[in-house]
Amino acid sequence: MKIQEKLLNDLAPRKFDKLGVIWTSALILLIIAGVIAYIDQIIKGQVVTNMRDYALWGIYISNFVFFVATSFVGSVIVAILRLTHNEWRTPLVRVAEIITLASIVMAGITITLDMARPDRLLNLFIYARIQSPITWDVIIIPTTIAISFLLLYFPLLPDLAILKDHFKDKKPRLSRWYGRFSLNWRGTTVQKAIQTKSIKIIAIMIVPIGLMLQTIDAWLFSTTYRIGWDSTNMGAYFIAGAVVAGVAALIVVLFVVRKTKKLENYITELHFDKLGKLLALACLIYLYFNMNEYLIPSYTPSTGEEIHLKTLFTGSYSFLFWLVTIGGLILPVLFLLFKKGRKPLPMFFIGLVVVICSWWKRYIIITPTLLHPFLPIQGVPESWHHYFPSLHEWLITIATLAMALLIITILVRYLPVVPIQRTADEQEKLNNEKH
Amino acid sequence: MKEQENNANNSRRSFLKKGIALGAFSATALAIASFQKDDVDETGEKVKLLSPEGEIVEIDKAYVKPAQDLHLPLDSKKIREGIPNRKFVMVIDLARCKNALNCVSACNKHHHITGKNAWLKVYKMQESKDTAPYWMPSTCQHCDQPACVTVCPVDATFKRRDGLVLVDNERCIGCRFCMAACPYSARVFNWEEPDQGEITMNMDMNMTQHASTPEHAGLPSVKGTVDKCDFCPHAIEKGELPHCVSACPNGVFYFGDKYEDTVTNGDETLRLGKLLEDKAGYRLMEGLNTQPSVFYLPPKERSDDFKDGLDKYKKFQSVEKPEQS
């Protein structure tokens, strides 16, 4: 019981400090700005974006792909590490689950921002045609949202019950909320059996569902004839990229949470070391698929492919292309090879760079391809030959990113980021083994 | 000058109306002709007609009467089915195209295109610097295996049995997946409320149905939805040719029915199969297996210099701004 008290002291949710209040207000302001921009987009039409008939998709879509990618971290950390019996994952799982839920919810919202007629959203169900990859998305995204929610929720039940007791006298209202969400958890053997079984099923389900989600996302592009998209490599390429983006996002959030909540004793250097190795592995695998995607086609390029690859290697998109390839993949691997590079602070910066590069990577996948159609671009204004997001697009996109961070912030504020019950059980087990 | 042109167009169109009518119902026409032989004074002027067996037959003009009404009644629910037993095709003779752009302006006018990207464009083509340049009008290819239709999540764009690929602007959700899927860049998007004040006002005054129909795309265009060349089913229904075909002064465009093996550019009516065989017809990007309904005749033995078309070529404009009046 003593262990639990100490744990509760360390892990129970605490009020925002000053910095937390500023951070949260800033996020809310960004979201408001985005909502205003979106309302304006609804009124005037997507003419407020810089998308046009050739660059027909822009950062709404690449941002959507980014969210889908980061949502994969739940499948990787929770499910794959679980299936491979990597016990060190315990203090990381909840943060990973929170990122997954926030990302996939935002992915669902982001894709509708790109729809020019959101008022006809129901048509996706009324007139659904199963052969369209968008219909597959309509099926897989809500499924992933549901499963991700359960994956976060079921393991929380014991902790919610603990928090209900913890706040009983201090904050009765909060305590009542924890009580409601704890679904009457008492920790009986029957309850534990049901919970263990449910978590096991969900943890296994999230693996194929996560893989399907990433693959369908890739198929949105590879089901077209477009040069740069029409590739059989696409599914695996997106899965590998999702591991990179997801693990990097986890490292960044983990660092911030650890620092602000003073969890150095729970999220240790060992965890960052392990995550560093995982990120390095992910980057190497992604590099392999990048070679398949860009280097090998450059040996036998068709005319169109040659133009496309030239734009990326030496042309107008070369700066971004090499930035995301070298800065987002090659350099991180080099730094992470050294033990010093896998310390928390360097890892934070590496993670941050990888996340930012992951975002631009999706931009590089989507935009250049659209600007190289099969027939030449003619008969349209000069500005339609290029694409760079408009103010509206930036405001709306930044708002979606802010909303994802807000969801994470709120969940981190009210939920124990390191599982209390499970940590207690594990420590008890450890102590028993010692004696 | 303009009037004259219009008159020429009109007479050609009415001729066409007869031509198509006779092409389609030549058997009936012939039957009528022989039936009425005794009551008519021959003019001595002969007209060539295509019989259902594919023979060209001559007949005195006096016997030729246009079928009264080619109006093919279409149940509104059958818009997605199309006209029964027809398969519309187009042939574009690149050897004749001089970039006159009458096709583009006629299309823009009749479909009330107010955006900045025309549905029909004449491309300045040159595959590589070692090959010859040529002018290439490009419409929606009305593919038999349309990539756009496959990816549409709501069945807003659909393929009809008569070959047409159309868009239901009342259903389209504006995801633009079809535009990404189309290898011919044939589709355009209504990024803002289309500024078609004139036609929407007229519709209001006439108290007619305001809803747009896939059978007359652009009337009116709908904000946040996709538009494209519709092969003018509204004209076909009246026995007329698509606007681009009748507007072309050089007879570049042929339109017709694959099942009847007949195409016409208004001046001449030809057998589709023979035309494609004689002039080595081909389709755009055959390798993609989209099976277009538009055929091209290679730009060989051109009567005019490619450069003559350059005067009218505008790289950054395909829709002329409406005249200020």
CA dist A105 to A3, A116, A135, B66, B235, Å? 36, 20, 17, 64, 48
pLDDT given at position A391:
98
DSSP-derived letter for residue A77 is I
Q: Is there a contact between A373 and B150 if contact means CB atoms under 8 Å apart?
A: no
Give the strand pairing for B157-159 and B46-50: unpaired
10 Å Cβ neighbour count for A167?
19
- Cβ contact, residue pair A54, B147, below 8 Å: no
pTM, to two decimals = 0.88
Q: Model confidence at B22, in pLDDT bands (50, 70, 90)?
A: very low
For residues B210 and B204, is the Cβ–Cβ distance under 8 A? yes
Cβ pairs bridging A and B (under 8 Å): 143
Omega of the bond leading into B52 within 30 degrees of 0 (cis): no
Cα–Cα distance for residue pair A247/A259, rounded to 1 Å: 18
> Closest Cα partner for A308 from A356, A372, A255, A361?
A372
**Closest to B153 (Cβ–Cβ): which among A44, A114, A124?**
A124
| pLDDT computed for residue B62 by the predictor | 77
A193 pLDDT higher than 70? yes
Instruction: Calculate mean pLDDT across residues A32-39.
Output: 98
Query: Could you give the percent of chain A with pLDDT greater than 90?
Result: 88
- pLDDT of amino acid A290: 97
* CATH architecture type of domain B76-312: 2-Layer Sandwich (3.30)
User: How many C-beta neighbours within 10 Å does residue B129 have?
Assistant: 6
- Categorize the per-residue pLDDT at B65 as very low, low, confident or very high, splitting at 50, 70 and 90: low
Band (pLDDT 50/70/90 cuts) for residue A95 is: very high
Q: Contacts for A325-331 with beta carbons within 8 Å, 24 or more apart? A: A325/A290, A327/A353, A327/A357, A328/A244, A328/A353, A328/A354, A328/A356, A328/A357, A328/A358, A328/A360, A328/A361, A329/A244, A329/A283, A329/A286, A329/A287, A329/A290, A329/A354, A329/A357, A330/A283, A330/A287
**Cα angle A289, A293, A294; round to 5:** 120
Which band of pLDDT confidence, cut at 50, 70 and 90, is reported for residue A326? very high
Average pLDDT over residues A401-409: 98
User: With bands split at pLDDT 50, 70 and 90, how would you rate the model's confidence at B11?
Assistant: very low
Of the candidates A232, A225, A137, A304, which has an alpha carbon nearest to the alpha carbon of residue B145? Answer: A225
- Cβ burial, residue A319 (10 Å; 0-12/13-18/19+): exposed
| Interface touch B183/A379, C-beta < 8 Å | no
Contact A127 B156 (CB under 8 A): yes
Task: Report the residue of B157, B286, B316, B320 to disrupt the A interface, i.e. the one with the largest count of A CBs within 10 Å.
Answer: B316
| pLDDT, tens digit, 9 for 90 and up, residues B285-314 | 999 999 999 999 999 988 788 999 999 999
- The DSSP bridge partners found for residue B296 are B92, B282
Task: Give the mean model confidence (pLDDT) for residues B251-259.
Answer: 96
Q: Is the predicted pLDDT of residue B15 greater than 90, yes or no? A: no
Q: Which of A121, A138, A379 sits opposite B121 (nearest CB)?
A: A379
Rounded CA Rg of chain B: 20
Q: What is the CA radius of gyration of chain A?
A: 23
Mutation site for B-interface testing, chosen from A124, A220, A224 by largest number of B Cβ within 10 Å: A224
pLDDT tens per residue across span B195-242: 887 666 666 666 555 567 888 888 889 999 999 999 999 999 889 999
Q: Whose CA is closest to A388, among A404, A400, A370?
A: A370
Taking contacts as CB-CB distances below 8 angstroms, the residues of chain A near B225 are 116-117
Residue A8 or A139, more confident: A139
CA distance B281 to chain A (A): 19
Element counts in chain A: helices (H) and strands (E) = 18, 0
Q: Which residues contact B32 (CB under 8 A, 6 or more apart)?
A: B63, B65
H-helix or E-strand containing B44?
none
Give the pLDDT confidence score for residue B207 in this predicted structure.
Answer: 53
Cβ atoms of A354 and A22 closer than 8 Å: no
CB contact under 8 A, A135 and B153: yes
Over residues B17-36, the mean pLDDT reads: 45
pLDDT of residue B12: 46
- Residue B324 confidence (pLDDT): 47
**Does the structure show a pLDDT above 70 at B114?**
yes
The pLDDT confidence band at residue B8, using thresholds 50, 70 and 90, is: very low
DSSP B241: P
Rounded to a whole number, what is the distance in Å from the CA of B213 to chain A's nearest CA? 17
The overall average pLDDT reported for chain B is: 83
pLDDT value for B202: 66
Q: Is the pLDDT of residue A152 over 70?
A: yes
- pLDDT at res. B35: 45
Interface of B with A in 134-153 (CB under 8 A): 138, 147, 150-153
Q: Per the CB < 8 Å rule, is B171 touching A127?
A: yes
Residues 6+ apart with CB under 8 A from B56: B48, B49, B50
Interface subset of A 95-154, CB within 8 angstroms of B: 114-117, 120-121, 123-124, 126-129, 131-135, 138
Position A13 pLDDT exceeds 80: yes
| CA distance to A94, A157, A420, per residue, from A161 (Å) | 17, 6, 11
Domain with CATH 3.30.70.20 in chain B: 76-312
- Antiparallel, parallel or unpaired: β B46-50 and B56-60: antiparallel
Q: A120 vs A116, B158, B170, B227, CA distance in Å?
A: 9, 18, 9, 17
8 Å CB contact of B185 and A381: no
Q: Which residues of B touch A128 (CB under 8 A)?
A: 153-154
What does the pLDDT average to over B27-48? Answer: 58
| Residues 6 or more apart whose Cβ sits within 8 Å of residue A166 | A8, A12, A175
- A320 Cα to chain B: minimum distance (Å): 23
Which tokens is A17 given? 């400090």
Q: Is the pLDDT of residue B83 over 80?
A: yes
Does the predicted interface ipTM exceed a cut of 0.85? yes
